[in-house]
Amino acid sequence: MLKTWDIFCKVVDNFGDIGVCWRLAKQLQREHGLQVRLWVDDLGIAQHLIPTLALASATQYHEDICIQNWYEHADFSQAADVVIEGFACGLPSSYLSAMVKHQSKWLNLEYLSAESWVDDFHGKPSPQANGLVRYFYFPGFTEKSGGLIRESNMTAQLQSNPDTPFLQQQEPSLNKNSRRIAATQSSALYLPSCVRFPALAGVTENEA
């Protein structure tokens, strides 16, 4: 069983990359009981989202997730069962070597897109010269895409609190009961990515 998952995140656009990767890490840990390690190259930016983060600590745990400082001389000798490369950030060469030895499953998380071509490229394999296969994960808005990165209980949370700023901004003219209905309709349209990530890893496991 693929229990250990590593997510690599390079902070490029301030909170965008780390925000997505941190949210995904929490979903995989909470909803699937996976051992998740999040590699981040800028703890200073990450600290804005994780206030208890210690900038001087190379390895630390927050919300049962291991957060690893990604720097040049970090220990990359232990590869996870499944590796998520956030937004084609590039993986360290020594870690790639460890992945080959461990025969890790490799998923490249792409940016969210509503374009139709996403359906044709989601989940496609890209064989590498080192023998690994890199699979492309495209979040999107259709059943053929990777879905949206959101919590599986988001619908219930919005229904229980229809006065959240999010719903008030989205549906300002609706009363409380109508906002509850809107929350159900909008969030039920798209399968959460946290369901599809393990599913795609299972596909790669069967094909390996």
Query: Which residue from 78, 81, 54, 86 is spatially nearest to 67, judged by alpha carbons?
Result: 54
How big, in percent rounded to 5, are the helix, strand and coil portions of the chain? 35, 20, 45
- pLDDT for the residue numbered 145: 86
HSE-CB for 157 with a 13 A CA cutoff: 9
CB burial of 4-24 (b: ≥16 within 10 Å; e: otherwise) equals bbbbbbbbeeeeebbbbbbbb
Which has the higher per-residue pLDDT, 187 or 28?
A: 28
- pLDDT for the residue numbered 169: 52
- pLDDT for the residue numbered 14: 76
CA distances in angstroms from 131 to 5, 162, 195, listed in the order given: 20, 50, 27
Mind listing the domains of the chain with CATH numbers? 4-147+191-207 (3.40.50), 154-187 (no CATH)
- pLDDT for the residue numbered 154: 65
- Span 165-174, average pLDDT: 52
Q: Is 66 helix (H, G, I), strand (E, B) or coil?
A: strand
Label residue 35 exposed, middle or buried (CB < 10 Å: 0-12, 13-18, 19+). middle
Would you place residue 185 in the very low, low, confident or very high pLDDT band (cuts 50, 70, 90)?
very low
Q: Residue 123: which region, alpha, beta or left (left: phi > 0; alpha: psi -120 to 50)? A: left
pLDDT tens across 84-105, in order? 999 999 999 999 999 999 999 9
Tokens of 48: 């804005």
Contacts of 161 (CB under 8 A, 6+ apart): none
Which has the higher per-residue pLDDT, 193 or 51?
A: 51
Would you place residue 140 in the very low, low, confident or very high pLDDT band (cuts 50, 70, 90)?
confident
- pLDDT for the residue numbered 205: 43
Query: Which residue from 170, 166, 120, 168 is spatially nearest to 146, judged by alpha carbons?
Result: 120
- Span 198-205, average pLDDT: 58
pLDDT tens across 26-71, in order? 988 988 889 999 999 999 999 999 999 999 999 999 999 999 999 9
Q: Is the pLDDT of residue 16 over 80?
A: yes
